[in-house]
Structure 1
């Protein structure tokens, strides 16, 4: 397959609309059916679909985690697409150990790293035109967001480490995501990340309730701003790891709003990817 370098992608981003609704009610979304609840809504999101230019990270100034909210790490790992699973199988356990070792090596500021969870995604050909098709794996997430707000970070820590509050309360930590494709090269629905320096935290960001059958979490959603600078990795290979911060315990460090984007020039098979989320203590 010939690989022409794309310096940018022209696409659309479904931002959360700046709608008066959110002056009265908080944005929310549920990840379970609510039809058994009379008058139940899966979400109250109103979207503002904006044209965006997404720039290629390759070849230019390399992003820095503490400045841009994300960075690139080139590292070989052992997990194959056939072995990838959402269960803790032996190949998955081996992979999680490799991710920990890579993070310790590349980011010495972290004194303790613990795996929180992981997610395999495999796009079905019907996505995104036929929502509701039964799928084995989660589909690409297209709304620009971070996985957690500061409050949501502590909610998730309580879920992952029940009864162990003394291990993370009053501690400084980051919630980090390590994202890669399972089969490269990939240009199908690549991950786009927004340069943190281009986000106005006072005007562009709003908390969003994440409703689950077993509880509630919180993340951040993004409103449109022409100042936003978006980036992707052209022809991503299995050894191209994208490392980004979702949140930190103090809410002061760079974080990466992110979303999967449609690439109108894609020639690859449907994207197959894996993300690992860790808590990294300073």
Structure 2
């Protein structure tokens, strides 16, 4: 794959990775979260709330603008889809409108990417903060994020741009429970492989404010780079730093350019998936929160 001369790689971009600790050879990484899905760092019972430590590591980021059509879900773990939504901006704050209109649009985007017979179920969407639905057999398909103007200062919730290289629901946990619930209501799905995808879009743009960066599946060492993290409420996957990881983003992402990327698959790690994180693009410029 050739890189356009206009798409100069951005070097030394910090992405937060899970540290490679010897303890993980005999102990699973874990985090205990509060009702807002933030890690509890102080506890009355003095219990250790996490055995994870994470450190920013410098990576090279490449703008895929101009050749993003070359990436595919089945090869890279993600794909860019052109789609004009009937919803605009603040419409995405209206849960009923999102469920009545956007759910169908999201399903159409997934159908466009998969392009083969399948059944599609919207597990959930998120507007601002993580709802309790995720603790009762729900998972994410689409997510609207917001950030405080003071970000990255102060506590970071899941509603903020997440700087940790990760895959939501990658380990058996939140997504698997949601899928099991769907299968129990539709027994004919019991023997069919299932996959959890995210449909990710900006609701105002063009956007350069902490854009989404995605790691190319082909650059991941499945044996050494992925660590399942057990969260008390939810399981997920976090990524260990490797120089060979190839990170891509879409500068000036518009409201009609959607990412469809894979989080987990019942067939295991050998099916492409996409670790992802937000990063501070153009850090020396003033950007309004989006």
- Whether TM exceeds 0.5 here: the answer is yes
Q: Is 41-50 or 249-258 further displaced after alignment? A: 41-50
* Pairing of 1:116-195 with structure 2 (within 5 A): 116-119=123-126, 120-131=144-155, 138-149=159-170, 151-152=172-173, 153-158=175-180, 161=182, 163-164=184-185, 166=187, 168-195=189-216
Provide the TM-score with structure 2 as the length reference. 0.81
Higher strand share: 1
Residue 225 of structure 1 pairs with residue 242 of structure 2: yes
User: Counterpart in 1 of 2:72?
Assistant: 64
Contact 2:73 2:113 in 1 (8 A): no
User: Counterpart in 2 of 1:54?
Assistant: 61
* Cα distance in structure 1, aligned partners of 2:82 and 2:250: 12
User: Counterpart in 2 of 1:73?
Assistant: 81
* Cα distance in structure 2, aligned partners of 1:167 and 1:72: 31
CA shift in 2, pair 1:43/1:110, >3 Å: farther
Residue 269 of structure 1 pairs with residue 288 of structure 2: yes
* Cα distance in structure 2, aligned partners of 1:7 and 1:197: 21
Q: Is 198-207 or 100-109 further displaced after alignment? A: 100-109
2:108 to 101, 114, 127: 101
User: Counterpart in 1 of 2:276?
Assistant: 258
Cα RMSD for the two superposed structures: 2.3
CA shift in 2, pair 1:254/1:265, >3 Å: farther
Long gaps (5+) in structure 2? 1-5, 127-143
Provide the TM-score with structure 1 as the length reference. 0.83
* Cα distance in structure 2, aligned partners of 1:23 and 1:184: 44
* Cα distance in structure 1, aligned partners of 2:102 and 2:96: 10
User: Counterpart in 2 of 1:242?
Assistant: 259
Deviations 1:126-170 (A, max 9, x none): 2221116xx8x8111111111122523423323x53843735432
* Cα distance in structure 2, aligned partners of 1:238 and 1:99: 14
* Cα distance in structure 2, aligned partners of 1:72 and 1:229: 17
Contact 1:186 1:269 in 2 (8 A): no
Contact 1:199 1:228 in 2 (8 A): yes
* Consecutive aligned runs of 4 or more in structure 1 exceeding 6 Å deviation: none
CA shift in 2, pair 1:83/1:16, >3 Å: same
CA shift in 2, pair 1:31/1:81, >3 Å: farther
SS of the aligned residue for 1:89 comes to helix
Contact 2:171 2:229 in 1 (8 A): no
* Cα distance in structure 2, aligned partners of 1:47 and 1:56: 25
User: Counterpart in 2 of 1:206?
Assistant: 227
SS of the aligned residue for 1:181 comes to coil
CA shift in 2, pair 1:255/1:106, >3 Å: closer
CA shift in 2, pair 1:75/1:128, >3 Å: same
Q: How many residues align?
A: 258
Give 1:79 shift.
2.0
CA shift in 2, pair 1:257/1:167, >3 Å: farther
* Cα distance in structure 1, aligned partners of 2:155 and 2:192: 41
